[in-house]
Amino acid sequence: MADELLRMQNITKIYSNGFIANKDVNLVIHKNEIHGLVGENGAGKTTLMKMLFGMELPNEGQIFINGKEEKIANPLDAISKGVGMVHQHFMLLPSLSVAENVTLGVEPIKNGLYDFERAVAETQAIADKYNFKIDARAKVRDLSVGQMQKVEILKALIKGAKLLIMDEPTAVLTPQETEELFEQLFVLRDDGVSIIFISHKLEEVMHICSRVTVLRHGVCMGSHDTKDLTQASLSKLMVGRDVVLKIEKEDPVTGAAVVSIKDLVKINTIGKNVIDGVSFDIHAGEVVGIAGVEGNGQTELAEVLSGLGMFASGDVLLNGETIKGKTVREIRDMGMAYIAEDRMVEGVAGNMSIKMNIVADRFTKKEFSKGIFMDAKKINDLVDQYIKDFEIACDSPDEPVRMLSGGNIQKVVVAREFTSGANFLLACQPTRGIDVGTAEMIRKTIVRKAREENLACLLISADLNEVLECSDRLLVMRKGKITAAFPKANEVSEETLGEYMLGVRDMTAEEMEALL
């Protein structure tokens, strides 16, 4: 086990916008091992792997493969050095056969033409060697997700990969497929292929990895033998706050339920229950936080509540009325405001003026029209007022939004959503990727509006600081379910929260009953 296959030493990566994705990260992979790489969203796992696979270049640090220092310039270079990557989102050509996909880039040639038979033979040979049950002649589009993943692995193996990077390979698999995958990974390991296994699922990491490296906010929290760890101690290493933010606030005086979610179920296109029987209420005057590792149904929940997504069963009442079958317009008129997760996609139209973006949700209303035209003066006055109130740094209200900084773009979004007169605010990642000052303004405004204006707010955020400090009640979402509920968010320790987020512990329905 002492043989070193890969050593990444003091790797630092700073993106051009100044974001430090990795800081002095060390990673050592031995021969014949399955090595876990874990960390929260944005901890820097993907960046680190991108550098190993030649998709990004490190600013500092060295990479050694088999003891030799290497510069990995691009993915082809990485492949030639024996590194293979199985992407989370498959990169396959669905209309071609398995053999054609696997041999892509190393096509066998006969008489200047593609030799399909040999491609099939080669694919079958390597599949048999590692005990992959797959038909090389089948079209990829006819395969199950688990089989597609095998094709991805074969693609790397046929190019002679000795180190396989697997980015959350089990996220898309059923439990049976996961078991099968693990069996195959063990075969690969015993045959001399090392595997870097990126996952949020601690039980899987504990089950198959011999060692694990933890990243937190771009910093390496060390490598550990899994036999020395428990799931609880691992989650403690992963989840933590770098700077503790404090928002002074008194306890909420809650009113009636503004939003009631009842047994909500949403099924995605591949038949998975992405929201699986969620029920809870949000009352006037309180901020309810939802914490959770991303991809556990939070985005889908926001889609349903905002009216942008459908749901299969259950019901959502907003101010006493169901939102089922209602358009976004109707739901907004019923009292919903929505800060979207990705501001450039659903929060603003970049090429349009600040003015149009601020009044985008309301310019169609009668009060803004004067005959057949819009009331320009009324709109201008309103927009000028909001630009002042929210301190949007811009030269004129007619400037296109895309020319502003991220923080100022988000101010445009909140200037619209905070002033729409809604009594329910759905805030998704409201401060993601923006400057500290604006983030603080947004968080404080959310709390203040809840206290002073009786706003009911649902705060969905991957930022622990934010959910712990802004929220009154705190819920944890995992695998489409609410798995924990806490009455006072600022009294929850991050270790406890981490254990629930990562599924080390779950609360029973009885424990949560009074808190939903």
Partner 1 sequence: MSKTQRIESTMEVVRTLVGLVIAYAVALVILFAISEDPVYIVQQFILGPLSSPRRIGSIINLAIPFTLCGLAMCFMYAVNRFNLVPEGIFMLSACTVTWVALKLGNGLPAIVMLPILFVVAILTGVVIAFIPAIMERKFNANVVVVSLMLNSIIAFLAVAIMRYTMRDSSISYIASYEIPASAQMPKILGKFSIQSGIIIAIVAVVAVSLLFYKTSFGWKMRLVGENPRFAGAVGLSAVSISFAAQLIGGGMAGIAGCTEMLGNYTRFRWSATTQHGFDGLLVAVLAKKNPALVPIGAIFLAYIRIGADVVNSTGDIPPEFITVIQGIIILLIAAESFMSKTKNKLIFKAAEKEEAERKQKQQANTAA
- Please name which of 158, 105, 104 lies closest in space to residue 130, comparing C-alpha atoms: 158
Structure token digits, residue 501: 């987020």
Binding mask 386-425 for partner 1 (x = CB under 8 A): --------xxx--xx--x------------x---------
Report, in Å, the least distance between residue 368 CB and partner 1. Answer: 7
Comparing CB distances to partner 1, the nearer of 146 and 400 is: 400
Q: Which is nearer to partner 1, 236 or 411 (CB)?
A: 411
Interface pick for partner 1 out of 373, 452, 508, 514 (rule CB under 8 A): 373
Q: Which of 171, 247, 352, 382 binds partner 1 (CB under 8 A)?
A: 352
CB of 376 to partner 1, least distance (A): 7
CA angle, 242 as apex, 37 and 297 as ends, to 5°?
Answer: 60
By CB under 8 A, what part of segment 264-323 binds partner 1?
A: 306, 308
Q: Residue 466's closest CA among 499, 505, 496, 433? A: 433
Q: Which stretch binds partner 1 (CB under 8 A): 24-32, 245-253, 310-318, 359-367?
A: 359-367
Identified binder of partner 1 from the candidate list 212, 238, 348, 383, rule CB under 8 A? 348
Give yes or no for a contact between 102 and 140, defined as CB atoms under 8 angstroms apart: no
Residue 247 binding partner 1, by CB under 8 A = no
Burial of 381-402, coded b for 16+ CB within 10 Å and e otherwise, reads ebbeebbeebebebeebeebbe
Q: Which of the ranges 107-115, 291-299, 365-373, 432-440 carries the binding residues for partner 1, by CB under 8 A?
A: 365-373
The residue (of 4 and 346) whose beta carbon lies closer to partner 1 is 346
Q: How far is the CB of 331 from partner 1 (least distance, A)?
A: 8
Token representation of residue 110: 């006969």
CB of 403 to partner 1, least distance (A): 5
The pair phi, psi for residue 341, each rounded to 5°, is -60, -50
Q: How many residues bind partner 1 (CB under 8 A)?
A: 36
| C-alpha distances out from residue 86 to 58, 170, 430, Å | 21, 11, 32
Question: In the bound complex, what is the minimum distance in angstroms from residue 139's beta carbon to partner 1?
Answer: 23
477: left (phi over 0), alpha (psi -120 to 50) or beta: beta
In whole angstroms, what is the distance from residue 471 CA to residue 494 CA? 14
Exactly one of 14, 28, 187, 360 binds partner 1 (CB under 8 A); which one? 360
Closest to partner 1 by CB, 92 vs 318, is 318
Going by C-beta distance under 8 Å and a sequence separation of 6 or more, which residues neighbour residue 448? none
Cβ proximity to partner 1: between 80 and 351 the closer is 351
- Residues 321 and 327: their CA atoms lie apart, in Å, by 13
Span from 265-273, 280-288, 349-357, 438-446 in contact with partner 1 (CB under 8 A): 349-357
Q: Which lies closer to partner 1 via its Cβ, residue 72 or residue 415?
A: 415
d(CA 266, CA 178): 23
Among 144, 230, 351, 405, binds partner 1 (CB under 8 A): 351
* Amino acid in position 257: A
- In the complex, the smallest distance separating the C-beta of residue 395 from partner 1, rounded to whole angstroms, is 4
Q: Which stretch binds partner 1 (CB under 8 A): 100-108, 143-151, 190-198, 364-372?
A: 364-372
Residues in contact with 367: Cβ distance below 8 Å, sequence separation at least 6, in sequence order? 375, 378
The interface region with partner 1, picked from 271-279, 351-359, 432-440, 447-455 by CB under 8 A, is 351-359
Residue 342 CB, shortest distance to partner 1, in Å, is 9
Distance between CA atoms of residues 129 and 136, nearest Å: 14
Which of 253, 376, 436, 509 is close enough to bind partner 1 by CB under 8 A?
376
Nearest to 173 by CA among 152, 157, 194, 156: 152
**Residue among 334 and 450 whose Cβ is closer to partner 1:** 334
Which residues on neighbouring strands pair with residue 369, listed in sequence order? 374
* Residues of this chain, 318-347, that bind partner 1 according to CB under 8 A: 327-329, 331-333, 338, 340, 345-347
- Taking CB under 8 A as the criterion, which residues in 5-64 touch partner 1? none
Minimum separation from the CB atom of position 497 to partner 1 (A) = 29
The residue among 195, 157, 7 whose CA lies nearest residue 79 is 157
109-110 and 336-339 beta bridge pairing: unpaired
**Residues with Cβ < 8 Å from 436, sequence gap 6 or more?**
none
Run of H or E including 417? helix 406-418
Task: Single out the residue of 120, 200, 124 nearest to residue 167, CA to CA.
Answer: 200
**Shortest spacing between CB 470 and partner 1, in angstroms:** 22
> Where does residue 364 rank: exposed (0-12), middle (13-18), buried (19+ CB within 10 A)?
exposed
How far apart CA 258 and CA 305 sit, in angstroms, is 12
**Least distance to partner 1, CB of residue 462, Å:** 20
Which of the stretches 16-24, 26-34, 51-59, 357-365 binds partner 1 when contact is defined by CB under 8 A? Answer: 357-365
β-strand partners of 225: 211
**Which residue in the block uniquely carries the two structure tokens 């039980």?**
203
Residue placing its CB nearer to partner 1 in the complex, 361 or 463: 361
Q: How many C-beta atoms surround the C-beta of residue 110 within 10 A?
A: 10
Binding site for partner 1 (CB under 8 A): 306, 308, 327-329, 331-333, 338, 340, 345-352, 356, 360-361, 363-364, 368-369, 372-374, 376, 394-396, 399-400, 403, 416
